[in-house]
Each structure stands twice: as C-alpha cells, then as structure tokens.
Amino acid sequence: KQEVTQIPAALSVPEGENLVLNCSFTDSAIYNLQWFRQDPGKGLTSLLLIQSSQREQTSGRLNASLDKSSGRSTLYIAASQPGDSATYLCAVDQGGSEKLVFGKGMKLTVNP
C-alpha cells in the first residue's frame, strides 16, 4: 500500500528565507507526483506536477524535484513571502491508477 509522508508537519520561518519541503513515498511505481497548496477553509490548488520520466519542474519561485528510485520529492520555495503561508501537500498516484495518495501536509507560516 502506498504511503506518503511529509515531515515536518509545520514550519515557521522569517520572510526571505529559501525553503525546502520534503515528501517521501513508499512505492516507487508511480506515474506522477503533484504538489498542492491549501489555504484555510479552501480547496487544494495544484502547484506543480512532475511526471515519473522527469526530474524536476519549475514555476516562478517554486521548483520541485523527483527522485523516484529513492521515493523522495522536494519542493523548493525561493525568497519566501508572507503570502506563501499555507498548507502544502504532495500526492502520488498508485501505479498509474486514478487513485491519488496524499501526504498529511505541512503547514508553512512565513513571518513578516
């Protein structure tokens, strides 16, 4: 059974820091990994999707990498801002199925 872990569960940093968020998964037979952002009381917004044949994806200040063989992904946030405060979740598919498995998320607080 696929399991996805995000450690730590929460992180508080001053504005301007470069951040690395971690995601690990137990079964490397994935097709894709996605990173999401969730604001309080809202739904999830997709940030980046990395296909298993790719090693990284970039969007603005965000960069996500994937090491499928070791079961790890990192989300790098450059020059963090208070507006980046949210919960960040990663998710993987189960062997190419439509069934995404989510981590429990990491709550990020960026202090001005």
Partner 1 sequence: DAGITQSPRHKVTETGTPVTLRCHQTENHRYMYWYRQDPGHGLRLIHYSYGVKDTDKGEVSDGYSVSRSKTEDFLLTLESATSSQTSVYFCAISESVSSGNTIYFGEGSWLTVV
Sheet holding 19-25, edge to edge: 4-5, 19-25, 72-77, 62-67, 56-59
The binder of partner 1 chosen from 25, 64, 75, 103 (CB under 8 A): 103
Beta-strand relationship, 10-14 and 106-111 = parallel
> Per rule CB under 8 A, is residue 99 in the interface with partner 1?
yes
The binder of partner 1 chosen from 22, 24, 28, 32 (CB under 8 A): 32
> Per rule CB under 8 A, is residue 44 in the interface with partner 1?
yes
Alpha-carbon span 108 to 18, nearest angstrom: 12
> Per rule CB under 8 A, is residue 51 in the interface with partner 1?
yes
CB of 14 to partner 1, least distance (A): 27
Residue bearing tokens 């820091």:
17
Q: From 11-19, 21-29, 46-54, 69-77, give the range in contact with partner 1 by CB under 8 A.
A: 46-54
